[in-house]
Structure 1
Amino acid sequence: MRSGSGRSLADMPLSRPVPWVSPVLYGAVLVAGLYAWLAGLGDTQPVLFTGGLAALAMLDLLERRRYPDLTPPRSAAVLLGARIALFAAVAAVDGSQLSRALFVLVPFTAYFAFGPAVAHALAAACALLLVAAAAVADPRWYANVEQVSDLLMFGVGLVLAVTMAAVAVEERRARADLAASTARVAELSATAERNRVARDIHDDLGHHLTAIVVLLEKAAAFRDRDPGAADHALVDAHDSARRALEDVRRSVRTLREERQFSLSQALTDLVAGQAGDDGLAVDLEVTGEESGHDAAALRALYRAAQEGITNARRHAHATRVRVAAALDATGATLVVRDDGRGFTPGREGYGLLGMRERVQAAGGRVDIGSAAAGGTVLKVTIPRRAES
């Protein structure tokens, strides 16, 4: 997934994916400072104190309005400097001393604008600055349990702030990657479905249209010499057109609902549809049980038989085709053998390409070549997949 600048979301610093952190911390500091002022604890200057926190809140609001998605690095650096100055000013007039916690926002904010390296460096700088301030105020600060405890808590706050920023960035990147992956999967699924529909159109309509063309050519050739044969060819062409329409309707229904597929029944219907008077005889033999075999494998065998018969009629000019399907515990095999002119290697059209794609998707292989006694032999072998 790319932005308009050409950088991926995963490579970009991400701006304010957890915008509630700063307001919550400002509110906690405000409550603690006002309580210290009302209780007479420390030397809180309420006007300057509340004014500084209001300025911080206004700065955040203006940044979000000016840069709703991503703050440019130069602007982010200027804003970070302004925040550090305001943090120091608020801490100077806060009698509760809780305002020092505002400095955990320095590495937290820097992580989104400049990345982890800068954030870690600033976290270390904030910790050292606080230690130096404590040492200036009390040279024996390390012997003061309260001082050490405060410094440790501040260190824990820095670690948690940087960790929260890192988690937020990775979560945002993971969402971007997931969105990109989902889009890619959808694109691949759409491509696969288009290819499947294209193969179905070729296998179904191509098969029937080939028969129709052959029959119409015969009707035209015999129109004057043998009107009866011409009429018979026209009737057969009409039947082929009707079967083509039925196949289209069946394909549309298949897109809407998944039905149980029977290879033996489909092959029987396919062979019965070849009973036209175009000189091509088709024999069928099916052995074995279909139960336990993958439906995609059985459909691939059917499409292979359909393509083999179509090529025997269209290209090989065969007079007889034998289709044999065998199913056993090891797998499924289909052999289509014709007595035509044979197969010329290197001349595979879209139909054979689609057949290979179907068979390979089912885990099988396709072998095709000329038989020793003449004609073409097409063999499809698909191993039986182990049940999961």
Structure 2
Amino acid sequence: MATLGMSDRRTSTATGSAPSRPVPWVAPLLYLAVLLAGLTAAAHNDALFTPRTTGFVAGLLLLLLLERKPLWSWPPVALLAVRLCLIVAVAALDESGLSRALLVLVPFTAYFAFGRTVALALAACCVAVVLGLYALSEPTWYLDPEYVSDLLMLLIGLVLALSMAAVAIGEQRGRARLEEYAARVAELSATNERNRLARDIHDSLGHHLTAIAVQLEKADAFREHDPAAADQAVADARHSAGLALDDVRTSVRALRYDHRGGPPLPSALAELVRQLDDSEVRASLAVQGEAYARRYGQPSLTALYRAAQEALTNVRRHAGARRVTVSLALSADRARLVVTDDGRGFGPGVADQGFGLKGIQERARLLGGTVGVDSAPGAGTRITVEIPSDVPETGAGT
């Protein structure tokens, strides 16, 4: 319907979908049925090639043209008025009398353009008009079974048309809501992916760049006094640069650090501690319950690795610590990572300002875990990350 299509366009504006036409076949099918009935009646009365029959066919063709999309831009009231005038003209020229059934299209199309109340009012008007014509043409029409039958058929047609319109509107609104929800899900998924990539870049690339800067500063400081230490610092910086490049490639491919394809978590943590351990900072690692690692999936292991990586990066950048300890305790139901340093510490509220700690908290929260930060000025810092186990499909742990 023309007005139907305009209603679809208004409803679909919120979701950005293209206008659609629920039950587009109803009007053309009804026009075809009326055309066949009218031509059959005209042929039976030897009036097939008369001006009346020609006008009847032309009126139906004009009604069919109203279903074309270019006419959707017309005001709904104008389209409804034109349709009503054409239906009245076709009904007056029809030899069979079946064209009165086209009246059901008036409330049907009005339902999409103006809503249920207007459609019901127009349906009542259609019945009133038919009753008025009956009263003018045959005052005792209610005694004639043919008149009563025609009225009942009109009522049934109106009920079916309004019911079909209601179902079509409900389906169209449901589809619009579904499209809106799908758009929201897509937006949230894109936001989550951006946040994940931001955390990966911050936690991995930021850590490696900090390590490179520290090692190059160390090489510069020891260049004259201890060339061997300077060479080792340059080698460590080169190694960190290689790791940074690997992490950048991983982030570009939108993949997480894969502990199944790479070293196991204890070995990866040992590498982080080795990079930090030097003459200025003494770092150590303790691991318990390594056999329970199979009870933790890749996301959990990634979160623990990134948490340790970010904590050690903060030690390099801000803590001024002399000693750092990293402990990982795996059990059947929970993994616990603790990073402790004896640095300068910080006061309340400072932890909420850094992106790195927020990233740790986001990762843990997504896995049902918790993050605790204990620190005070001059008293060092203790970061505790706990994540519940998620036994892989390959079987339970020990």
Normalised TM-score (structure 2) = 0.82
Deviates more, 1:279-288 or 1:248-257: 248-257
**1:226-241 correspondence to structure 2 within 5 Å:** 226-241=226-241
Q: Compared with structure 1, are the counterparts of its residues 21 and 126 closer, same or farther at alpha carbon in structure 2 (3 Å cutoff)?
A: same
Report the alpha carbon displacement of residue 252 of structure 1 after superposing the two structures with TM: 4.6
Does the alignment pair 1:164 with 2:164? Answer: yes
Could you tell me which of 295, 298, 312 is aligned with 2:298? 295
Q: Which runs of 5+ in 1 are unaligned?
A: none
Gaps of 5+ in 2: 1-5, 394-398
Q: Distance in 2 between matches of 1:136 and 1:177?
A: 49
CA contact (8 A) 1:331 1:381 kept: yes
Query: 103-112 vs 132-141, which deviates more?
Result: 132-141
The answer to whether the 8 A contact 2:259-2:298 is kept is no
Aligned to 2:222: 222
User: Equivalent residue for 2:38?
Assistant: 33
Answer yes or no: is 1:211 the counterpart of 2:211: yes
Contact map agreement 1:359 1:365 (CA 8 A) in 2 = yes
CA spacing shift, 1:169–1:387, aligned 2, 3 Å: farther
Give, in whole Å, the separation in 2 of the partners of 1:168 and 1:309.
Answer: 61
Q: State the SS of the aligned residue for 2:96.
A: coil
Q: Distance in 1 between matches of 2:256 and 2:147?
A: 72
Equivalent-residue separation in structure 1 for 2:156 and 2:121 (angstroms):
16
Q: Which residue of 2 aligns with 1:282?
A: 284
Is the Cα–Cα contact under 8 Å of residues 52 and 93 in structure 2 kept in the other structure? yes
Alignment partner, residue 310 of structure 1: 313
Report the CA distance shift for 1:256/1:137 in structure 2 as closer, same or farther (over 3 A). Answer: farther
What's 2:3 paired with?
A: none
Name the SS of the counterpart of 1:229 in structure 2: helix
Whether the aligned pair in 1 keeps the contact of 2:104 and 2:158 (CA below 8 Å) is yes
The CA distance in 2 between the partners of 1:257 and 1:140, in whole Å, is 88
Match of 1:54 among 32, 53, 58: 58
Q: Does the 8 Å CA contact 2:297/2:392 hold for their aligned counterparts?
A: no
Find the aligned partners of 1:90 and 1:197 in 2 and give their Cα distance.
66
Q: Deviations over 1:229-250 (max 9, x none)?
A: 2222222212222222233344
Structure 1 residues 94-173: aligned runs within 5 Å: 94-173=94-173
AA in 1 matched with 2:234? L
Contact 1:316 1:342 in 2 (8 A): yes
Pairwise CA distance, 1:284: 2.8
Instruction: Write the letter of the residue equivalent to 1:368.
Output: V
Matched residue, 2:368? 363
Tell whether 2:345 aligns with 1:342: yes
Is this contact kept in 1: 2:197–2:254, CA < 8 A? no
Pair 1:354–1:134, CA change in 2 (3 A): same
How has the CA–CA distance of structure 1 residues 47 and 266 changed in structure 2, closer, same or farther, with 3 Å as cutoff?
Answer: farther
**Structure 1 Cα separation of the partners of residues 257 and 205 of structure 2:** 21
- Contact kept in structure 2, 1:280 and 1:320, CA below 8 Å: yes
Instruction: Give the counterpart letter for 2:349 in structure 1.
Output: G
Is it true that 1:201 corresponds to 2:206 in the alignment?
no
**Rounded Cα–Cα distance in structure 2 between residues aligned with 1:373 and 1:321:** 15
Do the aligned partners of residues 373 and 221 (structure 1) sit closer, same or farther apart at CA in structure 2, a change above 3 Å counting? closer
Deviation at 1:78, TM superposition (A): 3.0
Q: 1:233 to 1:333 in 2, by over 3 A?
A: same
Quote the Cα distance in structure 2 between the aligned partners of 1:258 and 1:111. 57
Identity %: 53
Hey, what's the Cα distance between the residues in 2 that align with 1:238 and 1:87? 85
Question: Residue 298 and residue 336 in structure 1: after superposition, are their counterparts in 2 closer, same or farther (change >3 A)?
Answer: same
Take 1:199 and 1:290, find their aligned partners in 2: how far apart are those partners?
23
Whether contact under 8 Å (2:250, 2:256) holds in the other structure is no
Distance 1:45 1:246 in 2: 84
Count of paired positions:
378
- Which residue in 2 is equivalent to 1:71? 74
| In structure 1, distance between residues paired with 2:257 and 2:200 | 16
Determine if contact 2:258/2:302 at 8 Å carries over to the other structure. Answer: no
Q: Give the drift of 1:267.
A: 2.6
- Cα distance change, pair 229–83 in 1 and its aligned pair in 2 (3 A): closer
Q: TM-score when scaled to structure 1?
A: 0.84
CA deviation vs aligned residue, 1:151-193 (integer Å, no higher than 9, x gap): 2221111122122223333333333333333333222222211
User: 2: CA distance between counterparts of 1:7 and 1:31?
Assistant: 35
Q: Please report how far the alpha carbon of residue 326 of structure 1 lies from its aligned counterpart in structure 2 after TM superposition.
A: 2.4
Tell me, yes or no, if the aligned pair for 2:344 and 2:379 is still in contact at 8 Å.
yes
Structure 2 CA distance for partners of 1:45 and 1:107, relative to 1, 3 Å: farther
